[in-house]
Structure 1
Amino acid sequence: MREFMEAEGMVKPEDWKDVNRNDVTDIRSSRRLGLIFDTNVRQAYGFGKWRQGMSPAVRKAFPAARFIREHDVGEARPRHAVSEGDVQLKTDYEYWAKFQNDPEIGGFGVPWGPYGFNSGMGQEDVSREDAERLGLVKPGAPVTPPAEPEPAFNDSVWANIGDLDPELKKELVDSLEKEIEDLESMEDIAKREAAKARRSAMQRSERKAIQRGDLAEAARIRKLIDLGVPEEPLIIDDNRIALSKRAAERAPNVEDWSRQAAEIFSRIERKLPAPQKRGVSRARHLGASEFIATPEEKLIVESPLEIMVAHDASGRIYRAGVGGRASIKVPDLPAGSIVTHNHPGGRGPSDGDFKWVFMNADKILRVITRNERGELELFRFKAGPQFDPAKVSDLLASYAILCRRGGDTAPARRAAMGLIQRDFPGMLALDYGIVQ
């Protein structure tokens, strides 16, 4: 920062001679520069966290925030000291920006932290259940947008050059004019951003096609994405046709997926009950406290499509079925059934799996997958002893949000499972581990 200040003509090298490194009022001091740098970093982090928490999906599950002390300071601002633990809606800018971050007490006038230089205050999410209990949200009320437009990161940033030296002002204007000349045209920027938006939309369409089991459509969209989304999407030339052929060679072969799954499923079908025989019993595997996979689970974990195997209350196999790449329909089953299925994507249970066990509280669900280290991982779960139907939607929304925050990877789902067990104790009886 000192080198930058010298290069910009803010100070001369000899000006450092009489600097007081510990004087926060001296703009050249280490303490002052460190404070500015630390505050800028904390503001950027605070803004990112605030924007994430203001998305409609997150606000539906966590509509309010608690004013907390994140770290101790030498002397707390009196207003902050008496407000620790306050809970207010995230959309209450009057409270967060104009009261707790009031410039009159050294704040920055924005609804995210930090709340002034050397402030140790921050926000903590508060669930909808707690917000309703505190009277901040009416039960069943929809998520409403903020009364004021959401501020952007630099809305409160300004600079006054009125008293600037005329020569330095001219140098600044000349520099800005040169930078403006070097900027991309608005047309080029618009084309590039439009291409990015189209690519994101196509990726979302691909994920949705996989989720609903439409593998042919997913493969078609993947081919288009592999082409590289053009800025002018209607222009097609010989080079793009050649790219299309190469993309088609790399696209998933849907017929291979179906063939592999059918071969595995045929081995399961032989174990289903028939007039002349009963279904094979897996009571020893299913009832073990250790993480032991049944022979069928070890088969289906290698399937590129989801396969379901249902056992009756005594552990005998009696139903099976094949689904899509990311989902499978489970038929109506009698009480006490134990249903097991694979996750070809290598990730743990989805919010859809948890929804099924909550709708079928008298049944057990098992998920087997091969995790990111190549190990067989087994998940076993059912509705817990403190299952409350009124909390189901909040739990499912919280789990989905937590998974997305972590990129919906296998580790992200495991972390999300731990958090929902902490935040919704007793709602879900869940354990998981590596197959022995």
Structure 2
Amino acid sequence: MELTLLGTGAVAGLPRPGCPCAACALATGGDARAATAVLVDGTLLIDLTPGVALAAARAGHSLHGVGQVLLSHPQDGPPLEVPDGLPAPIRVPDGQELSLLSGHRVRAVALDSPGTGYDVTAPDGRRLLYLPPGGAPAGLPAADDPHRPFGADPARAGGGYDVVLLDVVGRPDALARLRAAGTVGATTDVVAVHLDHHAPTGAELRRRLAAQGARVEADGTTLTAGDLHNVPDIPRRTLVLGGARSGKSAEAERRLAAFPEVLYVATAGRRDGDDEWDARIRLHRDRRPAGWQTVETCDLAPLLADADGPPLLVDCLALWLTDAMDAVDAWSDEAWHNGGRRELERRVRELVEAVRATDRTLVAVSNEVGSGVVPATAAGRRFRDELGRLNAAFAAECEEVLLVVAGLPVPLRG
């Protein structure tokens, strides 16, 4: 199966006409995108967009061999012009199947939003799932459900689909649900389409998608189903650093939003009578996907040792350190010099060794402190110094390290 991406942008394209935002201003060259449309094996066109014939010509293809045009979402603008020689576009009713003369089989997938997804099987057996903008499959069952409508085969490496095209940025939960059902696996090529100005551009977009096991390509790119050379490897261990209200926690959560199960490890704990602290915790909790589980603990080593568990999101190391310093009475000069320092070093060493040995996907958050302001007390300076040492030791064990500044992730490693 060969797929040519005639466009990869939102319905209005990228940049949006007349939009003054920074994302649209930066969407130039390879980051400029026409509305999403895909040509399958030169015979099936999914989504008819303005200028699609010219887009095909630029990609080195002709639409003369197209025998079927499918629409995936409602068309709100003026009626689309159908280029000469193309059949009239149709939308297949949910659940119905269509057999093409080319040997391709198409099944319409019901969604949780207006529109239709398409499950396409090529004559060579390769499979594509195409979802429209903002769409996710409705009623997706578990991988072991014998009535699963997507035909997932748990015994087949990589799940049911060879390629999935969907709105990863706008609906990461759709990708999470496909993974939960077993229809997207480690060898599924997940490509983000329907990209709008809400997404970053350039290297930042590629980095963010890679963390979710997806990738992005420029308009005109041709993909071959089953070619896994460009499928990104998901980083196993990531440290996200940042100052107060920098967006570091949101960045960490975004990296795992496309995974069906995540264990959120809150090291903050509760503070009786502190309404402002409770509001902070509630803000974090309300932002998480409903399927995530939460545990409040600073005992991280056993969680890291559980190789069969879902990805971990630890937020944050600064509060873990606070708990560890409380445990050894590190705030007292006397206790610090009479064994407290050695005990804290042992605890930090144990944590770092657990990070080094873990097989779980891990995203950890920590504060970046000490960039100029010197605390007024010895205890404050001690905490600043020890957090700097902890961050450095933890980062040394991570494949990716990010510093979030004013909401913008800056890659330090990976």
Instruction: Classify the TM-score, shorter chain.
Output: under 0.3
Question: Structure 1 length as normaliser, TM-score?
Answer: 0.21
When normalised by structure 2's length, the TM-score is 0.22
Larger radius of gyration: 1
Structure number having the greater strand percentage? 2
